[in-house]
Amino acid sequence: MAERFENLIAGNWEFPEANPPIESLNPADTTDVVGLVPESSPEDVDRAVKSAREAFSSWRLVPPPKRAEIIFRAAELLLKNKQSLGELVTREMGKVLKEGLGDVQEAIDMAYYMAGEGRRMAGETVPSELPNKDCKSIRVPIGVFALITPWNFPIAIPAWKILPALVAGNTVVFKPSSYTPVCATRFVEILMEAGIPAGVLNLVHGRGETTGKYLAEHSLVDGVSFTGSTKVGEAIIRSCAGIGKEVSCEMGGKNPIIIMDDADLELALEGSLWAAFGTTGQRCTAASRLIVHRRVYDTFLKEFTARAEAMRIGDGLKEDTDMGPLINEAQLERALGYVKIGTEEGATLITGGRRLTGGSFDRGYFMEPTIFTDVTPSMRIAREEIFGPVVALFRADSFEEAIELANHTDYGLSSAIYTRDVNKTALAERELNSGLVYINAPTIGAEIQLPFGGIKKSGSGHKEAGGMGGAIDMFTRIKVIYRDFSGRLQKAQIEE
């Protein structure tokens, strides 16, 4: 019997049985059941939201530095448990162990950073135009947040949302992906061990289209932060519009890397391989378009193909694995579907494109790293997010054409350029139309101390993570205070 992982509502762990439980499977070996979680009912969600509402009245009054002390303790506990959590990430999500550990490290970084935010959380103080009056803005929590997270960063992304939400004084109902619920439960356990009071953080398991949807649309929820597909994000934005909810969505990407003829080709190859096939292409920041200057195109393609073909694919817990499985059958089918679409559209399949079978491969969702050339910008494989190890190569005749190709997309999360020309780096920085721009580095690997988010179909609402315009903006409202201590009626803007 697989281990059961529960909901957390008002400080009580519980396993409702109104619906059949959900199985979380190891994508590298589906005979390995990582755990069972409940499929929550609307009634469970109602109770979780009510518990968060009730807890808000006291949590909002706890001084932020005190809230932050709990987050700091969580950072210490995450660090202590890094190895076992990293292994769990790999077992439940499939990414190779080094990346599983990186996922946990990103949560640790965020916890230390957000603990520091408890002593900042700044507003502004400005002079008044009138005597004996002061003007300031302060940050106040928003209320109850629904936090809905994906499976590709099963510890890091929950940390990106839950930690700033809590330090800012909100209470939370957390609905993690039903593909990585065990990681989510372990993360919540650690936060509770660190001292989060009962009711402040609630966890409800379930599927996105049922539990997640019901939670996001709940009338007693004040804000929603979602990371996932553009399709679901747009539906959440639509359903919450008009009911005054704060909504921030982190969505898809179709991220380009430009490789100029003066690039350090070795560096560009390494970076492109990592951005295209790291995490099996399942990052919203993954590079799925490589735009290569014609002078280095043939050399790049030859070498890139050889390296992709040399990648060792398998169980991410094995020391020598370079690339793990896709998360589930549906994602694998989706990626394979795009191989078919690309071929039918007239692109050339250079390598890969097949599911790996035989032996232990049959128990998981493994696929070859896949490269297409002769891709035109109007093809679906050039425009749509695949979220798998499939990359399209383009040939550009000039810097200008490369930039134009890079920006020719509905998305705008991350982009990158490899060049040794300092002037071109400055121009690329200015012209690349995305939330993140990398110079001589791949499109993945954002650090948590600056905001994270995209434009166009990649993101809507506030950005995540640290820095100006990051998560503290998402999870607080600015309140403006005018205090008149003159003891008489003073009228702003009115001459008397």
Interacting residues toward ligand UN1 by CB under 6 A: 106, 152-153, 227, 283-285, 444-446
| Single-letter amino acid code for the residue at 429 | E
Active site residue 284: yes
343, 379 Cβ separation under 8 angstroms: no
Nearer to ligand UN1, 106 or 261 (CB): 106
Q: How far apart are CA 332 and CA 362, in angstroms?
A: 13
Active site residue 240: no
Write down the least CB distance from residue 227 to ligand UN1, Å: 6
Handedness of CA 433, 436, 438, 441 (dihedral sign): negative
Write down the least CB distance from residue 106 to ligand UN1, Å: 6
DSSP codes joined into one string, 61-118: TS-HHHHHHHHHHHHHHHHHTHHHHHHHHHHHH---HHHHHHHHHHHHHHHHHHHHHT
Look at residues 17, 11, 85, 91 and name the one whose alpha carbon lies nearest to residue 55. Answer: 11
Neighbours of 83 (CB within 10 A): 12
Nearer to ligand UN1, 19 or 440 (CB): 440
Structure tokens at 417: 């350029």
Q: How many CA atoms lie within 13 A of 162 on its CB side?
A: 33
Nearer to ligand UN1, 199 or 451 (CB): 451
448, 106 Cβ separation under 8 angstroms: yes
Q: Are strands 390-396 and 287-293 parallel, antiparallel or unpaired?
A: parallel
Write down the least CB distance from residue 303 to ligand UN1, Å: 24
Contacts for 14 with CB less than 8 Å, ≥ 6 apart: 6, 7, 8
Q: How many CA atoms lie within 13 A of 230 on its CB side?
A: 18
Q: How far apart are CA 75 and CA 190, in angstroms?
A: 9
Write down the least CB distance from residue 47 to ligand UN1, Å: 30
- Of the candidates 106, 117, 246, 250, the residue annotated as catalytic is 250
Write down the least CB distance from residue 477 to ligand UN1, Å: 26
Nearer to ligand UN1, 123 or 445 (CB): 445
Write down the least CB distance from residue 446 to ligand UN1, Å: 3
Nearer to ligand UN1, 254 or 283 (CB): 283
Nearer to ligand UN1, 47 or 283 (CB): 283
Helix (H), strand (E), coil (C) string for 419-460: CCCHHHHHHHHHHCCCCEEEECCCCCCCCCCCEECCCHHHEE
Longest CA–CA separation in the chain, Å = 89
Nearer to ligand UN1, 102 or 143 (CB): 102
Write down the least CB distance from residue 289 to ligand UN1, Å: 16
Q: How far apart are CA 256 and CA 207, in angstroms?
A: 32
What burial letters (b/e) apply to 87-116, b meaning 16+ CB within 10 Å? bbbbbbbbbbbebbbbbbbbbbbbbbbbbb
| Single-letter amino acid code for the residue at 88 | L
- Of the candidates 183, 240, 284, 464, the residue annotated as catalytic is 284
Nearer to ligand UN1, 249 or 446 (CB): 446
161, 288 Cβ separation under 8 angstroms: no
Write down the least CB distance from residue 152 to ligand UN1, Å: 5
Which residues carry out catalysis? 250, 284
